[in-house]
């Protein structure tokens, strides 16, 4: 895999059926043309992802919504109008255009319009090359299945060093949000939260005027109990536990991830000290990767408060701490 800073080059790679890792405001995605089953098969193979785990189709306008989805409920349109381009993915009844290859054979499709200007440029160029105004890029997070999502082009290059040089990563700098998009199941009579993100349930309820519930029956792989896992063992702990932390009894190396207000006890390796939940989300995945680079055995993580994006950070920490398969 080769680095580029030129969006049209990434678009040409995609048009030719190659893979292109692309920056979004949430995390980097590993992209393939959503209408190219061969490219999508390569994408699944590169990620090591089971074929029945569906992908998000990235579009570049709300107009493309009706090309990929059918029977779009009013509340889903309200979410698209209010939040796109932005960090929210809408799961909708699929149109015939959505191939089984991206939906995992389900009767719904996940759609997102990202706000990252480089992603927008790639899609605009792909529309120009193909002449298809609703062309989409299927892109899961650019990490091996079950591992930590990438928030920089360097993270992507580390994950996919073995891919051929015709596959590119478009370097658009570090991601602004840092955790994956909020996913809302819009196939029922009201919104259901599948994955928390920067847009929280209170936002969804305010925008739609409807209750946003959890516990959808739709499958989502980011909702597996164990996901986003580094090699180091993650333990979610309270600030009180850290305050009472004694010196480690052996030489096991232990890292600490917590808001800046939590002081570092002696013997712990401070991985990050974000000022608030937004900053916590931004540094979370880089900190987990840093723990592995330092060959730490354990990471103690004190979660931020649950308001806003805090709920998404708690969700990811809990899953990265899970040893369930
Ligand atoms: O922020 C993000 O959403 C990033 C960037 C690259 O856009 N993408 C991302 O993709 O996180 P991925 O594949 O790692 O996670 C997509 C999630 C998975 O949990 C998948 O199961 C779910 O979306 N999903 C996709 N299509 C779905 C569908 N039709 N019904 C339910 N869940 C779906
Ligand atoms: Mg993922």
User: Region 56-76: what's the mean pLDDT?
Assistant: 96
User: Region 156-182: what's the mean pLDDT?
Assistant: 97
Q: Ligand 1: which of 85, 112, 180, 281 to mutate, judged by most atoms within 8 Å of the beta carbon? A: 180
pLDDT band at 193 (very low <50, low <70, confident <90, very high): very high
The lowest-confidence range among 10-14, 92-96, 107-111, 239-243 is: 239-243
Residues in the chain: 325
Evaluate if residue 53 carries a pLDDT over 50.
yes
What is the pLDDT, as a whole number, of residue 246? 79
Q: What is the mean pLDDT of the chain?
A: 94
What ligand 1 atom has the least distance to the C-alpha of 112?
Answer: 7
What is the pLDDT, as a whole number, of residue 217? 59
Residue 325: both structure tokens together? 């398969």
Contact in structure between 137 and 111 (CB atoms under 8 Å): no
Instruction: List pLDDT tens digits, range 249-265.
Output: 665 699 999 999 999 99
What ligand 1 atom has the least distance to the C-alpha of 143?
Answer: 14
Task: State in Å: Cα 104 to ligand 1 middle.
Answer: 11
Distance between CA atoms of 52 and 91, rounded to whole angstroms?
Answer: 16
What is the pLDDT, as a whole number, of residue 251? 59
Query: Which residues have any ligand 1 atom within 6 Å of their CB?
Result: 24, 26-27, 29, 53-56, 89, 91, 103, 106, 108-110, 112, 139-141, 180-181, 183, 194, 218-222
Evaluate if residue 6 carries a pLDDT over 90.
yes
Contact in structure between 114 and 244 (CB atoms under 8 Å): no
Q: pTM for this structure?
A: 0.95
Instruction: List pLDDT tens digits, range 284-324.
Output: 999 999 999 999 999 999 999 999 999 999 999 999 998 76
Instruction: List pLDDT tens digits, range 10-52.
Output: 999 999 999 999 999 999 999 999 999 999 999 999 999 888 8
Task: State in Å: Cα 239 to ligand 1 middle.
Answer: 32
The lowest-confidence range among 112-116, 126-130, 217-221, 281-285 is: 217-221
**What percent of the chain shows pLDDT beyond 70?**
94
pLDDT band at 325 (very low <50, low <70, confident <90, very high): very low
Evaluate if residue 226 carries a pLDDT over 70.
no
Contact in structure between 102 and 109 (CB atoms under 8 Å): yes
Distance between CA atoms of 241 and 273, rounded to whole angstroms?
Answer: 17
Q: How many CB atoms lie within 10 A of CB 278?
A: 17
Residue-wise DSSP of 10-70: HHHHHHTT--EEE--SSS-EEEEETT-HHHHHHHHHHHT--TTS--EEE-SSGGGHHHHBS
Q: Ligand 1: which of 21, 52, 54 to mutate, judged by most atoms within 8 Å of the beta carbon? A: 54
Burial class (CB in 10 A: 0-12, 13-18, 19+), 12: middle
H or E element at residue 4: strand 2-4
For the ranges 85-94, 98-107, 210-219, the maximum mean pLDDT occurs at 85-94
Instruction: List pLDDT tens digits, range 178-191.
Output: 999 999 999 999 99
């Amino acid at each position: 895999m080769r680095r580029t800073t030129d969006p049209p080059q990434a678009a040409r790679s995609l048009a030719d059926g190659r893979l292109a890792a692309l920056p979004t405001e949430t995390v980097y995605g590993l992209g393939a043309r959503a209408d190219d089953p061969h490219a999508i098969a390569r994408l699944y193979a590169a990620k090591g992802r089971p074929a029945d785990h569906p992908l998000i189709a990235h579009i570049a306008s709300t107009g493309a919504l009706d090309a990929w989805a059918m029977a779009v409920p009013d509340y889903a349109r309200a979410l698209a109008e209010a939040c796109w381009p932005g960090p929210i993915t809408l799961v909708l009844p699929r149109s015939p255009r959505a191939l089984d290859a991206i939906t995992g054979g389900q009767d719904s499709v996940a759609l997102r319009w990202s706000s990252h200007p480089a992603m927008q440029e790639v899609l605009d160029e792909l529309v120009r090359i193909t002449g298809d105004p609703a062309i989409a890029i299927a892109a899961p997070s650019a990490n091996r299945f079950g591992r930590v999502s990438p928030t920089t082009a360097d993270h992507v290059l580390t994950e996919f060093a073995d891919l051929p040089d015709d596959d590119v990563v478009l370097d658009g700098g570090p991601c602004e949000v840092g955790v994956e998009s909020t996913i809302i199941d819009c196939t029922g009579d009201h919104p259901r939260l599948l994955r928390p993100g920067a847009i929280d349930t209170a936002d969804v309820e305010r925008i739609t005027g409807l209750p946003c519930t959890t516990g959808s029956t739709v499958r989502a792989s980011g909702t597996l109990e164990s996901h986003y896992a580094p090699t180091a063992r993650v333990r979610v702990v309270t600030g009180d536990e850290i305050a009472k932390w004694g010196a480690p009894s052996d030489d096991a190396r232990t890292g600490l991830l917590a808001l800046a207000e939590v002081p570092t006890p002696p013997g712990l390796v401070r991985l990050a000290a974000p000022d608030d939940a937004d900053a916590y989300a931004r540094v979370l995945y880089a900190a987990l990767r840093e723990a592995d680079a330092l060959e730490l055995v354990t990471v103690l993580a004190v979660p931020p408060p649950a308001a806003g994006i805090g709920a998404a950070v708690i969700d990811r920490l809990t899953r990265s701490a899970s040893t369930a398969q």
